[in-house]
Structure 1
Amino acid sequence: MANTPYPESYYAASANAVPPRPALQDDVETDVCVIGAGYTGMSSALFLLENGFKVTVLEAAKVGFGASGRNGGQIVNSYSRDIDVIERTVGPKQAQLLGQMAFEGGRIIRERVARYNIQCDLKDGGVFAAMTAKQMGHLESQKRLWERFGHTQLELMDQRRIREVVACDQYVGGMLDMSGGHIHPLNLALGEAAAVESLGGTIYEQSPAVRIERGANPVVHTPQGKVRAKFIIVAGNAYLGNLVPELAAKSMPCGTQVITTEPLGEELARTLLPQDYCVEDCNYLLDYYRLSGDKRLIFGGGVVYGARDPANIEAIIRPKMLKAFPQLKDVKIDYAWTGNFLLTLSRLPQVGRLGDNIYYSQGCSGHGVTYTHLAGKVLAEALRGQAERFDAFADLPHYPFPGGQLLRTPFAALGAWYYGLRDKFGY
């Protein structure tokens, strides 16, 4: 049987030790079968176990193998499309409910870390960095918008103030969100998996779901076993493949690239990011970076539509890093990797139910660390019969990509090229 290891990333190299988990080699029965042991799956499983459900998790590779263990590690509030866009799309009533949930994911992460003593280098503070006056104006509007929904841990920063928190001369200002922050993303997933098991949940690794047998008591088949359940939660996101064809039609896997430097030492690291906040700029094709627990710079950016792996990740990302921090020109890159996230045409998450007993959440569109933790709570509520918040997401309109699966990649790349030009010329 194939054994899929973690990619060669900094996160995998510095992951906390965990016991090996078996592959499913039997027929089992459970209340809920969760497909995917990333953040959506782990969050769902935890909330369900805390409410008395029997839960079995199937993972095709290892816990956190996909985006949950490869992302930039930044706790960023709201959604990939902000609440004002949602309000224009669906009206004030639905937007009010979605707006109230927009800042919940970060709180869930911190509660999990505290309750289950998860060692994941949690740090508070995230910076949105403006490169133009227009972007700064957008941040001013965003602050007013978020405060309208009760989010008040925000500070606008002028050019002098942002230089105090990041040693980069590209920025004209920014916004600091103290409820943002950053974590070691794989260690967060591993800690949540240990919490799932501490509550009696079962996780099978190297156990891909190859077929779902739908019906009153659905069955999920793996290469060497099957799980019969009352409910199924599909939480594979960009790594789901065509297991559920109707979900694949309205989404597209995309790749993002990350590099990690050698350890910089305390002194150099502190000159770059004195308060140890994470940073993302305000471009459409944005760059993001932060310090690791052992004082490396983790720097990511770029999008590859269709989720192809670039031949030379360092060649793509290192110039972006040096543009922000030319003082790192002689620093060695120790790790470079890519990971996939799932993009939707609206850039809003897709949540719903197939039949009476198959639930799903997918399509975080690059904004998944906080949303996935909220999604797990919302899915668990729905299985308990409390569907108001689930319905607020499920009622969002979604459409297939123009041209179907054959043309979705070139159309999306063309759109990215257009927005990249807008970023370049400051529109």
Structure 2
Amino acid sequence: MANTPYPESYYAASANAVPPRPALQDDIETDVCVIGAGYTGLSSALFLLENGFKVTVLEAAKVGFGASGRNGGQIVNSYSRDIDVIERSVGPKQAQLLGQMAFEGGRIIRERVAKYNIQCDLKDGGVFAAMTAKQMGHLESQKRLWERFGHTQLELMDQRRIRDVVACDQYVGGMLDMSGGHIHPLNLALGEAAAVESLGGTIYEQSPAVRIERGANPVVHTPQGKVRAKFIIVAGNAYLGNLVPELAAKSMPCGTQVITTEPLGEELARSLLPQDYCVEDCNYLLDYYRLTGDKRLIFGGGVVYGARDPANIEAIIRPKMLKAFPQLKDVKIDYAWTGNFLLTLSRLPQVGRLGDNIYYSQGCSGHGVTYTHLAGKVLAEALRGQAERFDAFADLPHYPFPGGQLLRTPFAALGAWYYGLRDKLGV
């Protein structure tokens, strides 16, 4: 049987030690079978276990193998489309409920880290950096919007103030969100998996779901076993493949690239980001960066539509890093990797139910770290019969990409080219 290891990355190289987990080789029964041991699946499993469900998690590779263990590690609030866009689409009542949930994911992460003593280098503070006056105006509107929904840990920064927190002269200002922050994402996933097991949940690695037998008591088949359950939660996101064809039709895997420098030392690291906040700029095709626990710089950006692996990731991302921090021109890059996230046409998450007992959440569209933790809570609520918050997401309109799977990649790439041009022109 194939054994899929973690891809080479800084996160895999610095992951906390964990015991090996077996592949499923039996026929078993459970209350809930969760497909995917990333943040969505682990968050769902934890909430369900805390409410008395028997839970089995199937992971095709290893815990956090996908986006959960490869992302930029930034805790960013709200959704990939903000609450005002949602409000225009669905009206004030549904938007009010979604807006109230927009800042919950970060709180869930902090609660998990504290409750289960997860060692993941959690730091508070995230910066949205404006490169133009227009972007600064958007941040001013965003602050007013978020404060409408009770989110008040925000500070607008002018050009002088932002230089206090990031040593980059590209920015005209920004907004600091102290409820944002950053973590070692793979270690967060590994800690959550240990929490699942501490509550009696079972996780099988190297156990891909190859077929779902639908019905009153659905069965998930793996190469060497099967799980009969009362409910299934599909949490594979960009790594689900065509296991559930009706979900694949409305989403597209996309790749983003990340590099990590050699250790910079305390003095150089502090000169770049004195308060150790994470940063993302306000471009449509944005760059993002932060320091690690051992004082490296993690820098990411770019999107590859269709999730192909670029031949030379460093050649794509290093120039972006040097534009922000030319003082790093002689610094060595120790790690470079890519990871996939799942894009929807609306850039809003897709949540729903297939039949009576198969639930899913997917398509975070680049805002997955916080949303997935909220999604786990919302899915667990729905299985307990409390569906109001689940329905608020499930009722969001979603559409297939024009031209189906054949044309979705060039269609999205054309849109990205347009917005990338707007970023460069500052319009």
Give the TM-score, by structure 2 length.
1.00
Query: CA offsets, 1:7-62, max 9 Å, x none?
Result: 00000000000000000000000000000000000000000000000000000000
For 2:270, the equivalent position in structure 1 comes to: 270
Query: CA offsets, 1:161-207, max 9 Å, x none?
Result: 00000000000000000000000000000000000000000000000
Provide structure 2 residue ranges, at least 5 long, that are not aligned to the other structure: none
Query: CA offsets, 1:209-236, max 9 Å, x none?
Result: 0000000000000000000000000000
Query: CA offsets, 1:399-418, max 9 Å, x none?
Result: 00001000000000000000
What secondary structure is seen at the aligned counterpart in 1 of 2:164? helix
CA distance in 2, matches of 1:241, 1:7: 18
CA distance in 2, matches of 1:293, 1:413: 35
**Offset of residue 85 of structure 1:** 0.1
Provide structure 1 residue ranges, at least 5 long, that are not aligned to the other structure: none
**Offset of residue 125 of structure 1:** 0.0
CA distance in 2, matches of 1:366, 1:180: 15
Query: CA offsets, 1:213-268, max 9 Å, x none?
Result: 00000000000000000000000000000000000000000000000000000000
**Offset of residue 339 of structure 1:** 0.1
CA distance in 2, matches of 1:86, 1:21: 41
What secondary structure is seen at the aligned counterpart in 2 of 1:293? coil
**Offset of residue 90 of structure 1:** 0.1
Q: How is 1:6-405 mapped onto 2 (pairs within 5 angstroms)?
A: 6-405=6-405
CA distance in 1, matches of 2:28, 2:321: 49
CA distance in 2, matches of 1:421, 1:209: 41
CA distance in 2, matches of 1:310, 1:25: 36
Query: CA offsets, 1:307-330, max 9 Å, x none?
Result: 000000000000000000000000
CA distance in 2, matches of 1:34, 1:87: 32
CA distance in 2, matches of 1:402, 1:10: 37
**Offset of residue 365 of structure 1:** 0.1
Query: CA offsets, 1:48-83, max 9 Å, x none?
Result: 000000000000000000000000000000000000
CA distance in 1, matches of 2:326, 2:3: 41
CA distance in 2, matches of 1:179, 1:409: 35
Query: CA offsets, 1:124-153, max 9 Å, x none?
Result: 000000000000000000000000000000
**Offset of residue 294 of structure 1:** 0.1
CA distance in 1, matches of 2:422, 2:144: 24
What secondary structure is seen at the aligned counterpart in 1 of 2:290? strand
**Offset of residue 298 of structure 1:** 0.1
Give percent identity, aligned residues only: 98
Q: CA RMSD in A?
A: 0.1
For 2:416, the equivalent position in structure 1 comes to: 416
**Offset of residue 352 of structure 1:** 0.1
CA distance in 2, matches of 1:293, 1:280: 18
**Matched residue pairs, number?**
427
CA distance in 2, matches of 1:100, 1:290: 28
CA distance in 2, matches of 1:2, 1:168: 46
CA distance in 2, matches of 1:156, 1:314: 33
What secondary structure is seen at the aligned counterpart in 2 of 1:165? coil
